[in-house]
Amino acid sequence: MKGRTVVLDHLQGREAAALMVDGILEDFLIEPDAPTPGTVYRAVADRPVKGQGGMFFKTPDGPAFLRQVKGLAPGQVLKIQVSGYAEPGKAIPVTQKLLFKSRYAIVTPDAPGLNISRSIKDEAERDRLLEIAHDAAGDHGFGLILRSCAEGADAGDIAEDIEAMVSVAEVVGNDAGGDVEVLVEGDSPHVLAWREWVAPADVVTEAGSFDTHGILDALDADRGTRVTLDGGASFYIEPTRALVAVDVNTGPDTSLAAGLKANLACARAMPRALRVRGIGGQIVLDLAPMPKKDRRSFESALRQAFKSDDIDTALVGWTPLGHYELQRKRARIALAEVLK
């Protein structure tokens, strides 16, 4: 099955969305039990954690933790936004920097200015987008970012997106309540798919499409720990309480370059494997044996692979034992936490 297909359906009673590219499951979103990133709270400061430079907040969904706060005292009311998924048993991670994000536009109330995605190079197109943005945003004083997918998009669609996000930002900004409350719900999987999977694709919405389009079979494979690579090589992804361990194996290949080939294949497959499984946090790669002179080739392959991945991932580097470390934002809920 060639081409891109977005499949919108439900799984185990949860709203879900799948992106298939040339018959391979490239991305998967599913409704979690936890609050989703983008949710905005009116929250009350609870207690500081001086050793970590943060503050716990009371929210309708349980305790939230805000890092690097100054000048706040218990009892103060603040608007905060969920920035990612919490680890099991931990507080919801939140930020003070509110963003209101849609398909074409991002409104940034605390960061004034109008910006166009750097990936849009054509000057005439940038001028067109600036004109649309000025007309749609008006004199609200909010910051605005036009995303790369706005290039070539219909002016009316872009303006509608901007106006909708500005309206939400205004409502939140004008809120003056005092009790804890959810002010804005985070996007559902179907809305998030529309927002983020912007490349041309066939869209399937019929009930039962996960079965007819091979999504269920793909999920069965991706819920496991083993990822098969070319030439019989493989790697295993095994989350622990502290970190995610990845072990690379060369398989039946006994050539001198077997380790390098397996590691390069692992680098290319890693973003998809983490994305579909919803894995984030600290990730340690125990690579197949290879000479130190080949490390630069592996790093280049890993950097290139994550370049097209939209989830923030820091390529931290090598440990004294020869492992390679990553730090990845928990932007997705882990499949293992929601699918039984």
* 160's tokens: 């509608």
* 29's tokens: 């979103």
pLDDT tens for 116-127 read 999 999 999 999
pTM of structure: 0.92
Q: Which amino acid is at 11?
A: L
Task: Please answer whether residues 60 and 41 qualify as being in contact, where contact means their C-beta atoms are separated by less than 8 angstroms.
Answer: yes
Task: Name the CATH topology of 224-338.
Answer: Aminopeptidase (3.40.630)
Q: How sure is the predictor about 231, in pLDDT bands with cuts at 50, 70 and 90?
A: confident
How far CA 120 is from CA of 128, 246, 281, in Å, comes to: 12, 36, 31
pLDDT tens for 73-99 read 899 999 999 999 998 889 999 999 999
Residues, the chain: 340
Task: Please answer whether residues 81 and 68 qualify as being in contact, where contact means their C-beta atoms are separated by less than 8 angstroms.
Answer: no
Instruction: Parse the chain into domains and list their residue ranges.
Output: 1-31+188-222, 40-96, 100-177+183-187, 224-338
- Tell how far CA 222 is from the center of its chain: 18
Q: Which of 262, 340, 332, 266 is nearest to 305 (CA)?
A: 266
Q: Which amino acid is at 206?
A: E
From 229-233, 294-298, 316-320, the region with the lowest mean pLDDT: 229-233
Q: How sure is the predictor about 1, in pLDDT bands with cuts at 50, 70 and 90?
A: low
- What's the CATH code, domain 40-96? 2.40.50
Specify the pLDDT at position 141: 84
Task: Please answer whether residues 159 and 146 qualify as being in contact, where contact means their C-beta atoms are separated by less than 8 angstroms.
Answer: no
Specify the pLDDT at position 126: 96
Cα first-last separation, the chain: 28
By CB neighbour count within 10 A (0-12 exposed, 13-18 middle, 19+ buried), where does 199 fall?
exposed
